[in-house]
Chain A
Amino acid sequence: MQAQPQTTLAALEEIVIRFAPKRQSKSAITRDTHLVQDLEIDSPRMIDIVLEVEDRFGVSLGDIDVQNTTTVGELLDLVERCRA
């Protein structure tokens, strides 16, 4: 059974917080949270996040799609598209 978007968002928040250099509480993360500006996630940390997301959700995210992802909401949408 496919997980609901909110469940996916919660899992993504957990992954993003784990790898973000800038510490944030889970409640501070929203769809609009900017991965670079708000969480200081650089390209190596994005690799960590993508690998973890791929393992957790059993999806493969495209390189170009990942490069174009700037917010938590866009990452959620990308994962949902790949799972569809």
Chain B
Amino acid sequence: MDSTLPVDAQKSALKKIIDDVARNIGINKKFHAWMGFLTLLLFVCLYAYYIQLRDGLGVAGIRDYVSWGMYIANFVFFVASSLIGMLITAVLGLSGVKWITPVARIAEIIAIGFAAVAGLVIVSDMGRPERLVYVFIYGRIQSPILWDVTVVTTYVLISLILLYLPLIPDLKILSRNPMLPKWLQKTYELLSINWKGTNEQYQLLHKAIKIMSVLIVPVALAIHTVTSWLFASTSRVGWDSTIFGPYFVTGAFVAGTAFLIIAMYFFRKNYKLHDYLTDFHFDKLGKLLVLVSLVYLYFNINEFLVPAYKLKAHDAVHLKALFSGHHAPMFWSVQLFGLLIPIVLMLFKKFRKPLPLMLISLFVVIGSWFKRYLIVVPTQEHPFLPIQNVPENFKLYQPTLIETAITVASFVLVLMIITVLSKAFPIITIWETAHEKGIHEPEKLSIDKAE
């Protein structure tokens, strides 16, 4: 930290940061168009949900054999993507990694978006959604479903706190900013709960952030481990595995990091944050994605090589469907384009530049989604007690249009949450960025400037 920076230089540096960040807050034409488009899409898709409510779950392609379909696969993907908040804020933050400062808030917003909608996705798969409250009234602690509900709710709450705490100084800094409308300034003032920026307050803030960061690690690990237990606690082939917990968690880091890179690319482009989300950050995240992908690859080999070596009677049917049966094209595409090729490409520096990295991440995210589909659906086509001479249409699962529309709706909701949060609050941490640039007491300087 450069402590010799003169006050004037500090002021102008701070003004640039504040202007760059504050420019993106509030509503503009682009926001109207984008949100209008999302809202329209949401209403079209909500009509599909209305049909499902009216006619029952039968309108989805789920039947006797495959009774957990696209919804559950999508749920697993959402929970997975939400884990990025924990990876960035807690794991990297606590280990003192400095470059995460401008990335942390984006990661936290993504985490909240996905985790909150994951809860809704599971409701869309429930046969009697109006009885959701029974889970809380008659909840049985023995049921993995109850564990999942508990930890997902806890994770959303802790993520919200972890988004809010580092926001407090920023809200104070921006609460006098003339670029913002009056009502927003007032809201910020209110939300900044008397923040003055004293040393004592900063000590408390750092302590609180640290406590929450430590707390979120077990909760985040729990949400995805418990999600994996929904499957692993049954005796079905392909699910009956002891490494499902870590297998899901590492897969989650892959999906989340890739989604974060895509989000960063669009924020950098649309919010003109080239000075904050630099090529350096993309390079670092590219390396992180390689790391987590390699760990995931390791678990994939464990998950498929060991049962494929033994080829127990039940496993054989399942693995043959994946390796050479009718799931093979999807299985090998996911492994190749969603995991292997991205790993190899990202080892080279030129593929870790923003645009190529964003495109690679797009493949990784799509691969991750289909990977969840491959975990959930094929297993159910091979029941514990195989039945001979079953008509093909009993077994094969084909997602219906209504199912697809409701799944699209869940993605629309996530994008809406991310957009609104990124428009309502500064997307880059002002105070941390200021501190790193040797600007002390940004609260004082910014208020001086306004007066």
A-B interaction: no
Give the B-binding residues of A (Cβ under 8 A): none
Give the A-binding residues of B (Cβ under 8 A): none
